[in-house]
Structure 1
Amino acid sequence: MGNDKYVVRPMQTFSGAPKNKQIQTDNIGVVEEGTTATIWDIFDSFCVQNETPESEKADYLETTVNTSKGQEKIGEKSSSSSTTVSTGCTISSMSEMEMSGNSLNVESDSQLIMSSESFQHSLLVMERSIVANTFQPKLAAYRQLPIPEDPDSTVKPGIKVQSEEGEESSLSPTLERLWAFTCELSRGRNITSMAWNKENLDLLAVGYGDWDSRTEKPSLICCWSLKNPMWPERVFYCQSCVTSLDFSSNNPNQLGVGMYDGTVAIYNVQSRNNVTCIANSRECSNKHLHPVWQVNWTKKETTLSGMDRGEALVAVAADGRITKWLFSGNSLDCIDLMKLKKSQHFKKNTVETDVIISPMTPGLCVDFHPTDSSIYLTGTCEGLIQKCSIFNSQNFLDTYKKHFCPVNHVEWSPFSSDVFLSCSSDWTIQLWKQDLFTPVLSVTSSQRAVLAVRWSPNSSTVFAAINGRQVEIWDLTLSIRHPTIVHHAAAGVRLTSLLFVKGNDCVLVGDSEGQVTVYQLKNLSVGEGKQVDRLNDIIHSAVSW
Structure 2
Amino acid sequence: MAPKKKMLRAMVKRALKRDDDTVLITKTLLRLDQKESSKSRSNLADDEALEWLKPRTLLKPDEQEDVPDAELDEEVGRFLTTINPQWVADEVAYHYGQGKFVKKPKPSFGKAYPLYIYQGTAIRKDSEEAKAQIAAGYGMVGFDDAGPKKAKVKKSAAEEEEEEEPEPEPPPPEETKHEEEVQEEEKPTETVEEQEAHPIEEENEEAAEAEDVTEEATPEEKAGGHEEEVIAIKPRVKKLANQFNFCERAALTYNLPRRSVETQTIPPPRATYGATVLQCIIFDFYQEDYARKQREKEEEKPKRLRKKERKHAKSAQQIHDEQLAQRIREAWTILERLVNQNIYDDIAQDYRYWDDPSDEFREGMGSLLPLWKFQFEPMRSHAVCDVQWNPHYQDLFAVAYGSLDFTQQQKQGCLCLYSIKNPAYPEYAVITESPVICLDVFKETPYLICVGLYDGNVCVYNAQLTLESSYQYKSDSVRDKHSNIVWEIRWGPRLIDGEASFFSISGDGRVVQWAIMPGELQATTIITLRTDLPPLPGPDGTLLTVNSCGSCICFHPEKADIFLVGTEDGMIYTCSLKYNRNYVRSVQGHHMPVYRIHYNYYNNSIYASCSGDWRVKIWEDGRDEPLFMFELGSPVGDVKWAPYSSTVFAACTADGK
The alpha carbon displacement at 1:287 in A equals 2.1
Check whether the contact 2:403–2:437 (CA below 8 A) recurs between aligned residues.
Answer: no
**Shift in CA distance, 339/127, structure 1 to aligned 2, threshold 3 Å:** same
Structure 1 segment 168-179 matched on structure 2, within 5 A: 168-169=361-362, 172-179=365-372
Aligned to 1:416: 603
CA distance in 1, matches of 2:507, 2:543: 16
From 423, 428, 431, the equivalent of 1:237 is 431
From 316, 335, 343, the equivalent of 1:134 is 343
Aligned to 2:646: 460
**Shift in CA distance, 191/329, structure 1 to aligned 2, threshold 3 Å:** same
After superposing the two structures, state which structure 1 stretch, 180-189 or 292-301, moved more: 180-189
Q: Secondary structure at the match of 1:116?
A: helix
- Alignment-mate amino acid for residue 372 of structure 2: W
After superposition, what is the alpha-carbon deviation per residue over 1:301-336, rounded to whole angstroms, capped at 9, x for unaligned? 6x6xxxx93531100011100011012332211111
CA distance in 1, matches of 2:478, 2:447: 23
The alpha carbon displacement at 1:141 in A equals 3.6
Aligned length: 337
**Shift in CA distance, 411/355, structure 1 to aligned 2, threshold 3 Å:** farther
**Shift in CA distance, 460/141, structure 1 to aligned 2, threshold 3 Å:** farther
Q: Secondary structure at the match of 1:451?
A: strand
From 436, 442, 457, the equivalent of 2:629 is 442
Q: Judging by fraction of residues, say which structure has more strand.
A: 1
TM-score (structure 2 length as normaliser): 0.48
CA distance in 1, matches of 2:480, 2:645: 42
After superposition, what is the alpha-carbon deviation per residue over 1:199-258, rounded to whole angstroms, capped at 9, x for unaligned? 112211101121525264521111111210110011111001101100111211110010
Aligned to 2:534: 345
**Shift in CA distance, 182/433, structure 1 to aligned 2, threshold 3 Å:** same
CA distance in 1, matches of 2:578, 2:350: 46
Q: Secondary structure at the match of 1:132?
A: helix
**Shift in CA distance, 353/210, structure 1 to aligned 2, threshold 3 Å:** farther
- Alignment-mate amino acid for residue 469 of structure 2: V
The alpha carbon displacement at 1:284 in A equals 6.0
Aligned to 2:139: none
**Shift in CA distance, 469/207, structure 1 to aligned 2, threshold 3 Å:** same
Aligned to 1:278: 472
Check whether the contact 2:535–2:544 (CA below 8 A) recurs between aligned residues.
Answer: no
TM-score (structure 1 length as normaliser): 0.57
Structure 2 unaligned regions, length at least 5: 1-320
The alpha carbon displacement at 1:187 in A equals 2.6
Aligned to 1:193: 386
The alpha carbon displacement at 1:451 in A equals 1.4
Check whether the contact 1:245–1:295 (CA below 8 A) recurs between aligned residues.
Answer: yes
After superposition, what is the alpha-carbon deviation per residue over 1:480-502, rounded to whole angstroms, capped at 9, x for unaligned? xxxxxxxxxxxxxxxxxxxxxxx
CA distance in 1, matches of 2:627, 2:467: 51
Aligned to 1:313: 502
Aligned to 2:330: 121
**Shift in CA distance, 435/185, structure 1 to aligned 2, threshold 3 Å:** same
Instruction: State whether structure 2 residue 570 is matched by structure 1 residue 361.
Output: no
After superposing the two structures, state which structure 1 stretch, 453-462 or 281-290, moved more: 281-290
After superposing the two structures, state which structure 1 stretch, 339-348 or 410-419, moved more: 339-348
Q: Secondary structure at the match of 1:185?
A: helix
The alpha carbon displacement at 1:381 in A equals 1.4
- Alignment-mate amino acid for residue 451 of structure 1: G
CA distance in 2, matches of 1:318, 1:253: 28
The alpha carbon displacement at 1:355 in A equals 11
Q: Secondary structure at the match of 2:476?
A: coil
The alpha carbon displacement at 1:402 in A equals 3.2
**Shift in CA distance, 355/318, structure 1 to aligned 2, threshold 3 Å:** farther
Q: Secondary structure at the match of 1:128?
A: helix
The alpha carbon displacement at 1:170 in A equals 9.8
- Alignment-mate amino acid for residue 510 of structure 2: R
**Shift in CA distance, 356/207, structure 1 to aligned 2, threshold 3 Å:** farther
CA distance in 2, matches of 1:232, 1:355: 52
CA distance in 2, matches of 1:117, 1:348: 62
Structure 1 segment 434-513 matched on structure 2, within 5 A: 434-446=621-633, 448-471=634-657
CA distance in 1, matches of 2:440, 2:542: 37
**Shift in CA distance, 201/353, structure 1 to aligned 2, threshold 3 Å:** farther
Check whether the contact 2:430–2:467 (CA below 8 A) recurs between aligned residues.
Answer: no
Q: Secondary structure at the match of 1:409?
A: strand
Q: Judging by fraction of residues, say which structure has more helix.
A: 2
Check whether the contact 2:402–2:414 (CA below 8 A) recurs between aligned residues.
Answer: yes
After superposing the two structures, state which structure 1 stretch, 455-464 or 431-440, moved more: 455-464
Aligned to 2:461: 267
The alpha carbon displacement at 1:442 in A equals 1.1
- Alignment-mate amino acid for residue 194 of structure 1: V
- Alignment-mate amino acid for residue 343 of structure 1: D
The alpha carbon displacement at 1:171 in A equals 9.6
Larger RCO (alpha carbons 8 Å, 6+ apart):
1
**Shift in CA distance, 323/113, structure 1 to aligned 2, threshold 3 Å:** closer
Instruction: State whether structure 2 residue 576 is matched by structure 1 residue 389.
Output: yes
- Alignment-mate amino acid for residue 569 of structure 2: E
Instruction: State whether structure 2 residue 590 is matched by structure 1 residue 398.
Output: no
Check whether the contact 1:283–1:331 (CA below 8 A) recurs between aligned residues.
Answer: no
Check whether the contact 2:474–2:521 (CA below 8 A) recurs between aligned residues.
Answer: yes
Check whether the contact 1:209–1:217 (CA below 8 A) recurs between aligned residues.
Answer: no
CA distance in 2, matches of 1:118, 1:184: 26
From 341, 358, 373, the equivalent of 1:180 is 373
The alpha carbon displacement at 1:286 in A equals 2.7
Aligned to 1:64: none
Check whether the contact 1:320–1:360 (CA below 8 A) recurs between aligned residues.
Answer: yes
Check whether the contact 2:536–2:543 (CA below 8 A) recurs between aligned residues.
Answer: no
